[in-house]
Amino acid sequence: MEVLASRLLLHPSEPERSHRFYRDTLGLAIYRQFGSPDAPGLVFFLGNGYLEVSGRSTDPRGGTLAIWIQVRDVHAEHRRLRDTGVPVLRAPQQEPWGLVEMWITDPDGVRIVLVQVPEDHPLRQDQR
């Protein structure tokens, strides 16, 4: 299989609420908007990938998907998001594998892992 592009697809129970969360609360930039102006689909930049929030779900389980987002300063994001009322499932902490992770949820309960890669972590080293 030759993969040319990819994105995560999220069909929230309340699209407008999720658009506000990803656009305004998390501050993700919009890559593209499509569909009806009354109920648009939005595709957000996620670093090297995309998150499409479109359609509507009647099954708000959300537990089988997690979104992994690398940020520059997870502690600053923790303070900012906590101050805006975003539910923090777990404050930033260093994992045994060396990354600093914080867990939050979106309005439908989808888990979002915010990750900071420390300066001395192997992911920061040139592997060539």
How do residues 60-106 score in pLDDT, each as one tens digit? Answer: 565 567 888 989 999 999 999 999 999 999 999 998 888 899 999 99
For 36-72, the pLDDT digits (tens) are 888 899 999 998 888 888 887 776 565 567 888 989 9
CATH dotted code for 8-122: 3.10.180.10
Domains of the chain by residue range: 8-122
DSSP string spanning the chain?
-------EEE--SSHHHHHHIIIIIS-PPEEEEES-TTS-EEEEEETTEEEEE-S--S----TT-EEEEE-S-HHHHHHHHHHTT--EEEEEEE-TTS-EEEEEE-TT--EEEEEE--TTSGGGS---
